[in-house]
């Protein structure tokens, strides 16, 4: 069956999540859930020189939420914290290769929200409305 939303790549990341699990000694961790869906994502980061040196995630939920989390961990490894702060919905949609539509967009953006919570938390900066409203 061809599915518009569930491209092979999304299912692959869902089935075989990259960077899944715990980091030894993370510098920062953040966790959030989407109460409507029950999607849960936790991100753990190693940070040095203002960069994401290592990152892992844990979570439970739908394929969209878990695949986007896994893809995001790959995409931000080595990126500066400023670059991560500058990421938004288009970056996630580009990684997924689809727009999941208005009913599922929060599933796709939960990982980015958690990632940003971690980065802002690490920097000791206040989290803006635009982050809170991602998912």
Partner 1 sequence: MVEKLETINAARIREDFPVLKRQVNDKLLVYLDSAATSQKPNTVINAISRYYREYNANVHRGIYKLAEEATLAHEEARENVAKFINTRRTSEIVFTRNTTEALNLTAYSWGRANVGKGDKIVLTIMEHHSNIVPWQLLAEEKGAEVSFVKIDENGELRQDEVQEQIDERTKIVCVTHASNVLGTINPIRDIGRVAHRYGALFLVDAAQSVPHMPVDVQDIDCDFAAFSGHKMLGPTGIGVLYGKTEYLESMPPFLGGGEMIREVHTTGSSWKDPPYKFEAGTPNISGAIGLGAAVNYLRAIGMKHVHDHEKEITRYALDRLKQVEELKIYGPTDADRRVGVVSFNLGDIHSHDLASILDEEGIAIRSGHHCAQPLMEFLQIPATSRASFYIYNTKEEVDVLIGALEKARKLFAR
Residues contributing to the site for partner 1 (CB under 8 A): 1, 3-6, 11, 15, 36-38, 60-64, 100, 103-104, 107
Query: Judged by CB, which is closer to partner 1: 27, or 99?
Result: 99
- Residue 28, SS3 per DSSP: strand
Query: Judged by CB, which is closer to partner 1: 37, or 127?
Result: 37
Query: Judged by CB, which is closer to partner 1: 81, or 107?
Result: 107
Distance between CA atoms of residues 30 and 100, nearest Å: 24
What phi, psi does 9 have (nearest 5°)?
-65, -35
Measured from the CB of residue 14, what is the shortest distance to partner 1 in angstroms? 8
Measured from the CB of residue 110, what is the shortest distance to partner 1 in angstroms? 12
Query: Judged by CB, which is closer to partner 1: 5, or 53?
Result: 5
| Whole-Å CA distances, 4 to 66, 69, 97 | 18, 20, 10
Beta carbons of 95 and 72 less than 8 angstroms apart: yes
- Residue 44, SS3 per DSSP: strand
Measured from the CB of residue 109, what is the shortest distance to partner 1 in angstroms? 14
């Amino acid at each position: 069956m061809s599915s518009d939303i569930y491209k092979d790549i999304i299912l692959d990341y869902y089935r075989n999540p990259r960077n899944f699990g715990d980091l030894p000694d993370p510098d920062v961790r953040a966790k959030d859930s989407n109460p409507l869906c029950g999607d849960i994502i936790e991100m753990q980061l190693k940070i040095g020189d203002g960069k994401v040196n290592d990152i892992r995630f844990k979570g439970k939920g739908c394929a969209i939420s878990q695949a986007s989390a896994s893809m995001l961990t790959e995409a931000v490894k080595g990126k500066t914290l400023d670059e991560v702060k500058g990421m938004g919905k288009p970056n996630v949609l580009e990684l997924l290769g689809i727009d999941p539509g208005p009913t599922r967009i929060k599933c796709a953006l939960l990982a980015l929200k958690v990632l940003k919570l971690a980065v802002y938390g690490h920097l000791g900066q206040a989290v803006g409305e635009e982050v809170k409203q991602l998912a």
